[in-house]
Amino acid sequence: MATELESGHAAHMKKAENLGILAKVNRPLKIVFLGAGSAFFRALFTDVMNIPGAETGEMALVDIDAPRLALAGLLGEKLISLAEKPSWRLSLHTDRLPALEGADYIINCIEVSGTACVKFDNDIPMEYGIDQCIGDTIGPGGLFKALRTAPVWLEVLADVERICPQAWVLNYTNPMSILCLAAARTSKAKVVGLCHSVQHSSHQLAEYLEVPYHELKWRCAGINHMAWFTELTHCGRDMYPVLKQQLEYDAELLGKDPVRFDAMKYFDYFVTESSGHFSEYLPYYRKRQELIAKHCGTRYNGESGFYANGWPQWRKDNDNLRRKYLSGEEPLDMSRSWEYASFIIEAMETNSPVKIYATVMNNGLIGNLPYDNVVETACIVDGGGINPVSFGCLPRQCAALCSTNLHMIDLAAESCVNRSKDLAFKSLLLDPLSAAVCSPAEIKEVTDRLFEAEKDFLQVYS
């Protein structure tokens, strides 16, 4: 019996190979990790170690913070040891240029300015009533994070074009939409934007509906942090009526995701990203304290200043957790995560297709969103690269909300590309939350004050 199974498997693999599909990676890889101090590092590195056939290669770690780079290097060595893949080697770099030589894939997780500006991003807008929960992808916080990050990001891409133009750049750094749009408008580097909000939200929906995840069928598209689950079925049954009926009598369920469920009540569909983050993309929930008290909860459910107040300590906690991993005080999970990076690498190397959701240029993929802006939608990855799938049109109300944000994202990306303070101000004029609470003159004051407070990181703008 075993012989028959083995023979059948061999025949199957032979057929797959004839189609150009490999069972596993069959060459050494060079992967560059930009921003090795990032909290993404451990999971993404572990994921690479789980790629079938990826038995040898180099992970080049880059970080301008030498102590954090050294800590990442020690953790990387331990992960290689636990994965029992001694042929992998690490190289550590505070200068990215030598690291990029011969790169096949670049994982970008850079954080420009560290924690130096996070309080400015939150506290100055708050004086004008712009109450942010996360504030790193939209609104004043997202805009100024983009303005600080984009000059470095675009320099990185220029280096990639010059040194390793064939490499794919897998971007995890926020603000995702603004950075990916700025990249598409200025660089020939092969860039894709990756987030885990689609994976996380689809698992949450399965949990809320109490159905096995693998049995839940759905379609999803929109923009990063505002992609809509336009279809949601289980065994052929539309689950939206079920979910909406649950919410009529289950106050505990409503409390788990208050803003997203309230928005679903009126806009018909469930959206990606947490309630707190999503509330910043809209003009409805954060413009008065009584509305925040009514609709928003703690932490990722909408707590005011949650990111700004927590991020400095979270950064320290991440470093301390690495030390605990190294000492053995905290066990290391060596299983593969749902992050897309390793699956993209595997699919490209083996030509075995996989579906992901990614931020890419629209170019007509979603018919009722701007053609020349970015969207988040399904893509098929194989040996030919990342191939976006045409979605069609979003429900009109969903497209309208996405479009509102894309107008802000469009001008924000242009302000980064053109190093323009004026375009930065005009982008913030179009931000839904800022516009809900401030006059144009007040938004101008917010913009000017943030440029002054963060001037050490914004010298290129005029």
In order of 122, 230, 293, 363, 399, the CA distances from 395 in angstroms are 33, 8, 30, 18, 6
> 71-108: buried (b, 16+ CB within 10 Å) or exposed (e) per residue?
bbbebbebbbeebebeebebebbeebeebbeebbbbbb
For CA atoms 224, 261, 443, 454, give the dihedral sign. negative
Following CA atoms 35, 36, 41, 46 in sequence, which dihedral angle do they give, to the nearest 10 degrees? 130
CA end-to-end distance (rounded Å), the chain: 74
Q: Is 41 helix (H, G, I), strand (E, B) or coil?
A: helix
Structure tokens that stand for 369 in this block: 């969103």
The residue among 270, 227, 219 whose CA lies nearest residue 405 is 227
The residue among 144, 197, 181 whose CA lies nearest residue 369 is 181
Position 252, amino acid: E
Q: Which of 9, 12, 93, 196 is catalytic?
A: 196
φ and ψ at residue 237, rounded to 5 degrees: -100, 130
Reply yes or no on whether 203 is catalytic.
no
| Residue 326 to residue 79: CA distance in whole angstroms | 10
The answer to whether 217 and 239 are in contact (CB under 8 A) is: no
| Residue 345 to residue 362: CA distance in whole angstroms | 23
Q: How does strand 190-193 pair with strand 270-271?
A: unpaired
Task: Write out the H or E segment, with its range, that includes residue 89.
Answer: strand 88-93
Chain Cα centroid distance, residue 73: 24
| Residue 239 to residue 237: CA distance in whole angstroms | 6
Structure tokens that stand for 332 in this block: 């290391």
Q: Which residues are catalytic?
A: 196
